[in-house]
Amino acid sequence: MKRIHQVLVALLTVVLLASCSNKVGGGGTETPTTTNPVKAVTILDHMAGGDFDAHNAGIVDGTWLPTELWYYSDNAADAIITDQELMAVIWARLCVLEIDVANIDRHLAVSDGSSFYSFTWDDGSNTTFGFTINDYFNVKGGLAPIVDSSDLHRLANELYHYEPTEATSESFLESLTVAGTRFHDLTAIPSDGKNYSWDCDGDGSDDTILITSIDLGDEAPSYIEIEAYINGEPQVAHIDRAYQISEVRAYEGTDGTRGLAIVYYEGDYYSHDDLAACTLHWDGQDLIVEDID
């Protein structure tokens, strides 16, 4: 977090210097033609209020960082970023951009060239920055010219070449430990291609575990429903943001706890190629799903 704070302090200094000088240009992209005297405000000031202030405060002090950034640019880039340090830096770079609110263009229509940066937090809240041809900021009722869009163009170029440094599937499984045992050393659970058989309640007889993928549509994350008949009654649990089960193995802890370790692909409507893991066990009354960090 120290590095994030240093970067944000440096960027805040840039904001203060820019607001004091109120100078147009600065060697970047040429400012769009204006008809009124330029009135420059930072995007930080323009978007102030409500959730935005809470999101910004959490990023600045490092106590509440976004969990995901979706960056999209027409015909150029479509990337999901989960690196929280990088997201904090991108947020700060967007917030210091100055827009000319005295010359909002309410007639310009561009059929291609839009881009947006959509930040999401762990409570589901979201803040999105929208731009047009990287020279205008999308505001209510029109497009506000960006006073100096050179850094926005640089950022777009950086994200065009962005490749996440994520652990491979094999390294994820190699490092996965459940109840003190490596995942690969646990007992593999057979399936018929979709459903699994395992003695959920420990009565000596295998139970059929039914797996159903629930697609919510409308860009909402999907989930997997798990159903098993235990003592003649249907018991149901859910794995949120899960799209497909990769592998299931049984574990038993030294304290007698037992259950299933489930590796699955997680994500959202746009990207769901990351491996994640959870456990499933019967506590005598309910099927319980718990994430493995």
| Residue 182 backbone phi and psi in degrees, to 5 | -60, 140
Task: Tell me if residue 284 falls in helix, strand or coil.
Answer: coil
Ranges assigned E (strand) in the chain = 40-42, 68-73, 77-81, 98-100, 114-120, 126-132, 136-139, 142-145, 177-178, 181-182, 187-188, 196-198, 207-214, 223-230, 233-240, 242-252, 258-266, 274-282, 287-291
The pLDDT of residue 28: 42
The pLDDT of residue 181: 93
As given in the structure block, the two tokens for residue 236 are: 């149901």
The pLDDT of residue 164: 67
| Residue 175 backbone phi and psi in degrees, to 5 | -90, -5
Is the CB of residue 194 less than 8 Å from the CB of residue 213?
Answer: no
CA separation (Å) from 85 to 91, 273, 276? Answer: 10, 21, 21
Give the residue from 214, 215, 221, 231 showing the smallest Cα distance to 287: 231
User: Please, which residues have CB within 8 angstroms of residue 201's CB and are 6 or more apart in sequence?
Assistant: 207, 230, 231, 282
Q: Provide the whole-model pTM.
A: 0.50
Amino acid at 111: S
C-alpha of 148 from chain center = 28
Q: What angle do CA 245, 288, 232 make, to 5 degrees?
A: 95
Give the residue from 103, 106, 94, 104 showing the smallest Cα distance to 43: 94
Amino acid at 277: A
| Burial of 45 (C-beta count, 10 Å sphere; 0-12/13-18/19+) | middle
The pLDDT of residue 255: 84
Quick one: average pLDDT of 123-130? 96
Inform me whether the pLDDT recorded for 278 exceeds 70. yes
The pLDDT of residue 251: 96
Alpha-carbon distance of 264 to 248, in angstroms, equals 9
Inform me whether the pLDDT recorded for 166 exceeds 60. no
Quick one: average pLDDT of 240-244? 92
Per the prediction, the chain carries an average pLDDT of 85
Quick one: average pLDDT of 65-89? 91
